Amino acid sequence: MNARKQTCNSVLFVTRQGYFSSVCTPLSFLCRSFAYLTVKDRMPTILTKVIDTLHRNKDKFLEEYGKEGIEAEKQTIGLLSKLRNEMQTDKPVVPLTDGLPDAEIWNRYLQRHRQVEEDQEAVSWFKSPWLYVECYMYRRIQEALWLNPPISDYDVFNEGKTLSFLESQQAVMALCTYLEEVKKKTEELSKKELFLHFKKLLQVSLWGNKCDLSISAGKDNSQKTDAIDSLSSLQPFILVDDSDLMWSTLTSAESQGPPRRLDIVLDNASFELITDLVLADFLVYAGIVREVRFHGKSFPWFVSDVTANDFHWTIKQTMATNHRWISKCGVRWQSYLKEGVWSYHDHPFWTLPHEFCEMAAAAPDLYAALQGSDLVVFKGDLNYRKLTGDRYWDHAVSFGTSLRGFSPAPLCALRTLKANVQVGLQPGRGERLSSVEPDWMSSSKYAVIQFHSSTTPWQQD
């Protein structure tokens, strides 16, 4: 039995256990692991950019809040500098102190890890599960802000998200133009033709996930080319494509009743959000779904994740543009919101450290809400890591097995690979990729569209 088989259920740690450690794993490998480099280099870089953003906006804080704003900026920078030092020197993870409703949940989670390790010092930045410490950093950023009113609600990532959106305008124009051309002839299209357009827009939404500011540590990662034109060249890099199963799920009820409800658990703002809105628009206009519920974060998260402000700002920006088809899309999207066809939801669970298999117990209201959906689409790498538990699964383990019982409804993951976890591949394919491209799981070159039906019994492989 190989090392991967032996540790298929191990959580991915930064420098030990799971994928990044075994009795035969050399230290040189640990120091090259994607998780280690993320905590060592990328996360401190993100914190430095946050500190710089606050410093550059001190005049704004002075203008809006007077001396109180400047003092809040200094205090916040002080807390974030302390956080960066704790991370870089591998200090123990400490409890949250802001007293917000989710702080107790985070602190209980930390206590649970301490009990498992039987050593408070062992739960530190480089000796803890990667998924946990990465989420914890963003929660600590929010703690630093919330402890320092009146800048508590300031989005330290807003500038990057705004710039990414503006830099992607040519791609947005091309995509909205394509959507309007399809809509002109929707009534004339056969089922097969509708499916082909669905597949194209689904793949645009999939590859839109490459525009991730957390993976680039805040550097420009906007979409500057026509996404539709790029699809044929990207097709060979889709490792799993279950788009036909998604389509069957969305269209199977036509003879039984009205069209269905789609839930999209969003990932990044800017261009990726536009691709999600375009896909949802097509499905509503074509009569495939009757309702779309978008799920985002309740506060700024992982640099570019969608918040309520990002969602509504994006639609307002499209409405206000001077491009005919973009503005037409924006007006229609706003009408969908007004009519209740579309709705935006956030829930504290999306910004907690829990894996999704814990949702039914940790957030039963959210789990029950998702059970009312006909298909739940999870966008992006973080959602994939939480679906699979960020574990060292054998690549051939089924997607359903990796969910460990999480199945509120039929679901699908749309993800470009940016972390060292991937399941559901044909036997041997992951190993063959590793032999020629060691970084294939973290380069965002490859992608998956993976489906799981809640009606399929969960079985351990």
Q: Judge contact between 228 and 435, C-beta under 8 A.
A: no
- 3-state SS, one letter per residue, for 428-444: CHHHHHHHHCCCCCCCC
Identify which of 137, 134, 136, 147 has the alpha carbon closest to the alpha carbon of residue 76.
Answer: 147
Question: Among residues of the chain, what percentage have pLDDT more than 70?
Answer: 88
**What backbone phi and psi angles, to 5 degrees, belong to 449?**
-120, 100
Identify which of 301, 390, 298, 311 has the alpha carbon closest to the alpha carbon of residue 348.
Answer: 298
User: What number is the average pLDDT over the span 219-240?
Assistant: 80
Alpha-carbon span 52 to 80, nearest angstrom: 11
Residue 272 has, within 13 A of its CA and on its CB side, a CA count of: 28
- The boundaries of every CATH 1.20.930.60 domain in the chain are 34-147
User: What number is the average pLDDT over the span 229-250?
Assistant: 96
- The boundaries of every CATH 3.40.50.10880 domain in the chain are 157-452
Helices (H), 288-428: 308-320, 324-339, 359-362, 364-371, 380-388, 399-402
Alpha-carbon span 409 to 223, nearest angstrom: 32
Residue 146 pLDDT more than 80?
yes
Task: Count the residues in the chain.
Answer: 461
Residue 105 pLDDT more than 70?
yes
DSSP letter for 357, please. Answer: G
Residue 367 pLDDT more than 70?
yes
- Identify the weakest region by mean pLDDT among 123-132, 255-264, 396-405: 255-264
pLDDT at 225: 67
Helix 191-208 and helix 169-184: axis angle, to 10°?
A: 170
Helix (H, G, I), strand (E, B) or coil at 177: helix
pLDDT at 84: 98
User: What number is the average pLDDT over the span 174-179?
Assistant: 96
**Sorting pLDDT into bands at 50, 70 and 90, what band is 252?**
confident
pLDDT digits (tens, 9 = 90+) for 339-362: 999 999 999 999 999 999 999 999
Alpha-carbon span 59 to 65, nearest angstrom: 10
Q: Judge contact between 123 and 112, C-beta under 8 A.
A: no
Q: Show the tokens assigned to 34.
A: 């994607």
On whether the pTM is more than 0.85, the answer is yes
**What backbone phi and psi angles, to 5 degrees, belong to 238?**
-85, 110
* C-alpha triplet 422, 423, 429: angle, nearest 5°: 85
Residue 255 Cα distances to 156, 250, 252, 271, angstroms: 49, 12, 7, 36
- Identify the weakest region by mean pLDDT among 22-36, 95-109, 330-344, 422-436: 22-36
The burial of 192, by beta-carbon neighbours within 10 Å (0-12 exposed, 13-18 middle, 19 or more buried), is given as exposed
- Identify the weakest region by mean pLDDT among 248-262, 305-319, 427-441: 248-262
User: What number is the average pLDDT over the span 194-203?
Assistant: 97
The burial of 145, by beta-carbon neighbours within 10 Å (0-12 exposed, 13-18 middle, 19 or more buried), is given as buried
CATH superfamily membership of 157-452: Uncharacterised protein PF01937, DUF89, domain 3 (3.40.50.10880)
Return the CATH number of 34-147, one of 3.30.9.10, 1.20.930.60, 3.30.450.40, 1.10.150.120. Answer: 1.20.930.60
pLDDT at 145: 98
pLDDT at 316: 98
Residue 402 has, within 13 A of its CA and on its CB side, a CA count of: 29
pLDDT at 460: 39
User: What number is the average pLDDT over the span 258-279?
Assistant: 94
209-223: buried (b, 16+ CB within 10 Å) or exposed (e) per residue?
A: bbbbbbbbbbeebbb
Mean pLDDT of the chain: 89
User: What number is the average pLDDT over the span 367-378?
Assistant: 97
**Sorting pLDDT into bands at 50, 70 and 90, what band is 23?**
very low
pLDDT at 35: 86
- Better-predicted residue by pLDDT, 123 or 402: 402
Alpha-carbon span 21 to 420, nearest angstrom: 13
pLDDT at 121: 72
pLDDT digits (tens, 9 = 90+) for 56-98: 999 999 999 999 999 999 999 999 999 999 999 999 999 999 9
Q: Is the dihedral of CA 166, 419, 45, 295 positive or negative?
A: positive
Alpha-carbon span 209 to 221, nearest angstrom: 10
**Sorting pLDDT into bands at 50, 70 and 90, what band is 455?**
low
- Identify the weakest region by mean pLDDT among 3-7, 10-14, 180-184, 203-207: 3-7
Sheet containing 260-265: give its strands across: 238-241, 447-452, 411-416, 375-379, 260-265, 289-296, 342-346
404: left (phi over 0), alpha (psi -120 to 50) or beta: left
